Amino acid sequence: DAPVPGKVSNRFDLEKETELRFEVESGEAAEQLELELLSGMAEVFGSELNRNKKYTFGPGSKIAVFTWQGCSVNLYGKPEVSYVSKDTPMLLYLNTHAALEQMRKQAERDNERGPRVMVVGPTDVGKSTVCRLLLSYAVRVGRRPTLVELDVGQSGVSVPGTVSALCIERPADVEEGFSVQAPLVYHFGSTTPGTNIKLYNKLTSCLAEVFSQRCEVNRKASVGGCIINTCGWVKGSGYQALVHCASAFEVDVVLVLDHERLYNELKRDLPHFVRVVLLPKSGGVVERSKECRRDTRDEKIREYFYGFRGLSFYPFSYEVRFSDVRIYKIGAPSIPDSCLPLGMSQDDTQLKLVPVTPGRDLTYHVLSVSSAEDGEEGARKGIVESPVCGFIVVTNVDTQTQVMKVLSPAPRPLPRHTLLIMDIRFMDMK
């Protein structure tokens, strides 16, 4: 264990079934921390650590190093917080994995499909972490589960304002999480489902449909099942969205983290064959402030364009003529029922494509590039249900010359010309 120059080092000897929790300071000037496993075995959210390798965690990271058998680790640098806890729900989480694995075995035997699991609970109870854990454990025993990401505020897969699905083929990287190759991504456009709940439910149904089709042709995907991460909004329409999701995916298991009322409501409202399980949250889960969430979202968009850590991307900046693209917003502002045209319902307005005339106020908005075929009216119908093939950010709009400048991960030209505007903005400070 060679020391890291200029950094204090702290050794922790962990007993079996305990975890070291630490947080890295946040902010621009914060120094990152390195973690090294010296002896024994340990894992970070379900991914095993290699011995004598230094893992780096950047500003704002909140990490738990758990050990089943006992281990020693070194932490280089000064964490904001660090302590060892004996009180963790990991055994319950492992048992949950074991139960899901039983279901997969049975599915394999009986030529059925594997478990479809929905993880629910308020914000900051560790939903994403539990999903990551269960997926990594499943893939470690040779399964190929699918992660369905419905958290439009804090997506682990794509930029904020999207829902997505990702086939998991290897455990999450300790530092970087799951490798995101070829995810299926849909445009939602804002960071809370409440801005357009009809659209949110529609996209949930789209993902469920695509996943089911994949299961029909891919036995491993079918047996592996899926783990669905959801939003922390669990009341009113948010609750209805969970019920809708359970039915669209025909889930078999719902894991409720730390919310007894939600647990009881779901038990009451879901069909009796759905197993609803209440699990405690980990005491280590850290509540994140609004600012912290916003920073994470910003970081996610920055990563999309610039890459991170060892992998740098070099995005392109070029001009796009207004006349070469069609920009839409999904959902017209809601109007009183009494003012709706005859035969039209609010549903229709929420899924309607509203053309956006480019103006200065488009600056900094993130736009999804729809994979829908270019072409007029015919294609227009399928745009809402079409996956996204990438994202651009508008960096400047010139209404005089009818041209806007965009930041794009690929050189010109745009692969498609139908763009969907998000409420989300990104200011490029690089």
Write the burial class of residue 159 (CB in 10 Å: 0-12 exposed, 13-18 middle, 19+ buried). buried
Residue partners of 319: CB distance under 8 A and separation at least 6: 403, 404, 405, 406
| Minimum distance from residue 126 beta carbon to ligand ADP (Å) | 4
CA 424 to chain CA centroid, nearest Å: 16
Nearer to ligand ADP, 92 or 335 (CB): 92
- Give Cα separations from 157 to 178, 225, 372 (angstroms): 8, 18, 21
Nearer to ligand ADP, 172 or 372 (CB): 172
- Give Cα separations from 162 to 149, 278, 379 (angstroms): 9, 28, 21
Nearer to ligand ADP, 162 or 282 (CB): 282
Q: What residue has token string 């917003």? A: 329
- Give Cα separations from 258 to 116, 131, 168, 232, 279 (angstroms): 20, 15, 26, 12, 6
Handedness of CA 91, 149, 107, 256 (dihedral sign): positive
SS3 category, 46:
coil
Nearer to ligand ADP, 172 or 369 (CB): 172
| Minimum distance from residue 297 beta carbon to ligand ADP (Å) | 13
The amino acid at residue 43 is E
Nearer to ligand ADP, 104 or 281 (CB): 281
| Minimum distance from residue 366 beta carbon to ligand ADP (Å) | 22
Binding region for ligand ADP (CB under 6 A): 21, 62, 64, 123-129, 232, 282, 284-286
SS3 category, 381:
coil
Nearer to ligand ADP, 135 or 407 (CB): 135
Write the burial class of residue 10 (CB in 10 Å: 0-12 exposed, 13-18 middle, 19+ buried). middle
Nearer to ligand ADP, 21 or 187 (CB): 21
Cβ atoms of 194 and 91 closer than 8 Å: no
Nearer to ligand ADP, 1 or 17 (CB): 17
| Minimum distance from residue 368 beta carbon to ligand ADP (Å) | 23
| Minimum distance from residue 175 beta carbon to ligand ADP (Å) | 12
Nearer to ligand ADP, 68 or 364 (CB): 68
| Minimum distance from residue 258 beta carbon to ligand ADP (Å) | 9
* Residue 276: Cβ within 10 Å count: 22
Give the residue closest to ligand ADP by C-beta. Answer: 284
**What gap in Å lies between CA 169 and CA 63, rounded to an integer?**
23
| Minimum distance from residue 265 beta carbon to ligand ADP (Å) | 18
| Minimum distance from residue 255 beta carbon to ligand ADP (Å) | 12
Nearer to ligand ADP, 21 or 416 (CB): 21
| Minimum distance from residue 67 beta carbon to ligand ADP (Å) | 13
**What gap in Å lies between CA 295 and CA 191, rounded to an integer?**
13
- DSSP-derived letter for residue 343 is T
| Minimum distance from residue 37 beta carbon to ligand ADP (Å) | 17
Q: What residue has token string 């999701």? A: 245
